[in-house]
Structure 1
Amino acid sequence: MEDRKLTDTLAVSPQIRPEDMPEIRRRGYRAIVCNRPDGEAADQPSFDAVAAAARAEGLDVHFMPVTSDGIDDAAARRFGALLADMPTPALAYCRSGTRSATLWARSAEATRPAGEVQARLRVAGYGGPRR
């Protein structure tokens, strides 16, 4: 598992698998957010399989699938609201982590200086949010 910390309360990751859940729990995560629609790739585990394994480890699980072109202000607000209401730290994932990072960046722009958002993305290995 390749988690990349954006804040003290959120990290993002490429696709995770059901067998990753014990390690995710060991690393201290308390919640998982899936930003990847089911069926994007043939080898992708279903959200239901990931969610069942996560719940077995005592993790909160949330499904907020988005496509790259579906990341707009409304999606960013939904993501921010979701993060505000879940136990932290949380791990959000998609195919590469980029959609999850972009959702966070778009939601964080409302409360953090743009330079800080961009710096956190760079440190985590992601570019800036796309508009």
Structure 2
Amino acid sequence: MSENVGFAGQIGPEHIAQVAEKGFKSVMNNRPDLEGGTEQPTSAQIEEAARAAGLDYVFLPVVAGQITEVDVRTFANRFNELPKPVLMFCRTGNRSNNLYQIA
């Protein structure tokens, strides 16, 4: 975690208000839809809440343990474009942290 990025486990639309209150300007979702089953909120649901709260939102799903060079390049380009700070999340936060560290 730094002044430009934070990492979290799975969030849902109901958490977006807290994300905004903590000062984040953008949210990046690195978890594929339905990876955790039907109980997992979809990217579209989270994006709707984020945009309603005035946050930028990026859906960049990455398969756990299979981060590719394309994933890293795409991440770097998107991350550099987003207003900071950015909250990145996946199932536990580790995948997002790994993606950030590799980039």
TM-score tier, shorter chain, comes to: over 0.9
Whether 1:66 aligns to 2:62 is: yes
> Is 2:80 the counterpart of 1:87?
no
Identify the residue that residue 36 of structure 1 maps to in structure 2.
Answer: 31
The alignment's C-alpha RMSD in Å is 0.9
Give structure 2 stretches of 5+ with no counterpart. Answer: none
SS across alignment from 2:65: helix
Structure number with higher relative contact order (C-alpha < 8 Å, ≥ 6 residues apart): 2
Return the offset for 1:70.
2.8
Q: CA separation in 2, counterparts of 1:61 and 1:32?
A: 5
How far, CA to CA, are the matches of 2:54 and 2:66 in structure 1? 30
| Paired letter, 2:69 | D
Q: Distance in 2 between matches of 1:74 and 1:38?
A: 19
**Identical residues among aligned pairs (%):** 33
Please say if 1:57 is aligned against 2:46.
Answer: no
How far the C-alpha of 1:8 sits from its partner, in A, is: 1.0
Aligned residue in 2 for 1:75: 71
In the alignment, the residues of structure 2 paired with residue 7 and residue 100 of structure 1 have an alpha-carbon distance, to the nearest angstrom, of: 13
- Supply the distance in 1 between the matched residues of 2:59 and 2:43 (Cα, whole angstroms): 8
**SS state of the match for residue 12, structure 1?**
strand
1:99 paired with 2:80, answer no
Distance 2:64 2:42 in 1: 19
Q: Which runs of 5+ in 1 are unaligned?
A: 1-5, 108-131
Q: With the length of structure 1 as denominator, give the TM-score of the two structures.
A: 0.75
Runs of 4+ in 1 over 3 A off after TM superposition: none
Normalized against structure 2, the TM-score is what? 0.94
Aligned position for 1:14: 9
- Give, in angstroms, the shift of residue 68 of structure 1: 1.7
